[in-house]
Amino acid sequence: MTAILAAILTLMPAPAPHWNESKDEFLARMAIIAQTTDRAVSKVAKSAGPRRRALELAVIVTYWGESHFAPDVHSGARLGDQGRAICLGQHQQADLTEAEWASLAGTDYESSLSCAVVTASRLQRSWRYCRNLDPSFSWGHAFALYGSGRTCRPEELARQGSNQKRVAKLATLLAR
């Protein structure tokens, strides 16, 4: 859990001034994100080692890329994708019931855990799907599918730059 918190703080070392969140409030919220990410990946990834660590960090990089850990996104006060995407992982309802989808929003432990489980599950599913298409595919391809819902090919994305940033952030965190 400490390594996950360190990764979060590498990407977002302090709260943004417009968040009106003290450093202590920010650190407490980031600790919940780290704890719930650790727990969610434990539920989703059956193996330990490098694959588990990569999934943990992929969740954190996804949160950074989708929401930059913003408290109003975390709480559900602000939805993305024209009001269709919720929580730090910016999930659309897809295969979730309305109640399940709504439960992803919140800065409390349970809501944060629900968001982390869906994020980790969808990332792992994206990684496996893309790897089944082509064993040379990597996390960049999984991020492309996670974000688009339609393709593993980053070159087909309208916003290729954001996918490249995620790949670079993940590589940096994995190298630490």
In a domain, 146, yes or no: no
Q: How far apart are CA 72 and CA 122, in angstroms?
A: 22
In a domain, 139, yes or no: no
Residue 79 lies in a domain: yes
Give the chain's domain count.
1
Q: What is the pTM of this model?
A: 0.96
Tens of pLDDT, residue by residue over 73-102, are: 999 999 999 999 999 999 999 999 999 999
Q: Inform me whether the pLDDT recorded for 47 exceeds 80.
A: no
Residue 34 has pLDDT above 80, yes or no: yes
Residue 14 counted as domain residue:
yes
* Residue 145, domain member (yes or no): no
Query: Of 67, 117, 111, 65, nearest to 88 (Cα)?
Result: 67
In whole angstroms, what is the distance from residue 146 CA to residue 165 CA? 15
- What's the pLDDT at 138? 95
In whole angstroms, give the CA distance from residue 76 to residue 90: 10
Domain membership of residue 10 (yes or no) is yes
* Range of the structural domain that residue 73 is part of: 2-121+161-175
